[in-house]
């Protein structure tokens, strides 16, 4: 069981918005930066968001993150079938001195 | 751009040492602004960060508690690469292993191609 908790799955229709939560604690999300990753089947994870809410070059602004206390939420607007993937949150844990990943959320675009 | 190329065996016997290498192009293993990580993924354990090596005037390592007694991550400045050594492996160590470049601040932005490791006699 991951220290960073994500829902196992979410779904929404094309064009709609979906949110994916990531819940942690004061030793990780509460006091450290959060990043998010997208993993398409058979490929390595891809960085979507870093430094809480910054997007690498090439990542559309349909992807955004909000953070409150010890939780962070990834929002995806204008859903496309190509967004079907597994999504992971990540954060440094100051108590463990380790980087943590959430358990992952499978997004289905119906 | 930065690219990482992994190499190493895909089959390791139980109790032996898993060794993988990650060759870096487009950056230096001695960069003082990033870190070099090993991450694995399995159906049972999900994405699991194993550890990192980084240079800030001297070399540092951080390791996951789950493997701390068995893991070593070493930089090789002469070949601009870094390696993973995980000893006393069991079938629980079977996974896809990734090398990756990044920090908690900047995110893990560059990933190797992944190596599927099977632990079996």
In this predicted structure, what is the pLDDT of residue A2? 73
pLDDT tier at A52, thresholds 50, 70, 90: confident
CB-based contact A101 B49, cutoff 8 Å: yes
In this predicted structure, what is the pLDDT of residue A25? 96
Is the confidence at residue A29, as pLDDT, over 70? yes
**Residues of chain A contacting residue B39, judged by C-beta atoms under 8 Å apart:** 101
Q: What is the mean pLDDT of residues A93-110?
A: 95
Structural contact between residues B74 and B82, judged by C-beta atoms closer than 8 angstroms: yes
Q: In the Cβ-directed half-sphere of B92, how many Cα atoms lie within 13 Å? A: 6
Q: Is B109 on the interface with A (CB under 8 A)?
A: yes
CB-based contact B46 A104, cutoff 8 Å: yes
pLDDT digits (tens, 9 = 90+) for B26-82: 999 999 999 999 999 999 889 999 999 999 999 999 999 999 999 999 999 999 999
Query: How far lies A108's CA from each of A75, A79, B21, B25, B94, in Å?
Result: 14, 10, 35, 36, 28
CB-based contact B46 A99, cutoff 8 Å: no
**Residues of chain A contacting residue B54, judged by C-beta atoms under 8 Å apart:** none
Is the confidence at residue A58, as pLDDT, over 80? yes
Is the confidence at residue A1, as pLDDT, over 80? no
Which residue in B3, B37, B46 has the most chain A C-beta atoms within 10 A of its own C-beta, making it the best mutation to test that interface? B46
């Amino acid at each position: 069981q991951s220290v960073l908790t994500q829902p196992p799955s979410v779904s929404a229709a094309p064009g709609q918005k979906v949110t994916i939560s990531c819940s942690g604690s004061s030793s990780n999300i509460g006091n450290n930066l959060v990043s998010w990753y997208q993993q398409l089947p058979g490929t390595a994870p891809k960085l979507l968001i870093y430094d809480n809410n910054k997007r690498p070059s090439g990542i559309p602004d349909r992807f955004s993150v909000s953070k409150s206390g010890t939780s962070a939420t990834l929002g995806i607007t204008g859903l496309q079938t190509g967004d079907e993937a597994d999504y992971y949150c990540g954060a440094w844990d100051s108590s463990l001195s380790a980087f943590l990943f959430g358990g992952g959320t499978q997004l289905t675009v119906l | 751009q930065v690219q990482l190329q992994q190499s190493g065996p895909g089959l390791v016997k139980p109790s032996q040492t898993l060794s993988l290498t990650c060759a870096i192009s487009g950056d230096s293993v001695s960069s003082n602004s990033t870190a070099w990580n090993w991450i694995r993924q399995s159906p049972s354990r999900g994405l699991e960060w194993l550890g990192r090596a980084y240079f800030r005037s001297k070399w540092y390592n951080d390791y996951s508690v789950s493997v701390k007694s068995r893991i070593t991550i070493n930089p090789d400045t002469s070949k601009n690469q870094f390696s993973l050594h995980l000893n006393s492996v069991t079938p629980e160590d079977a996974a896809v292993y990734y090398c990756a470049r990044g920090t908690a601040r900047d995110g893990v932005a560059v990933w190797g191609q992944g190596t599927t490791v099977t632990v079996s006699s």
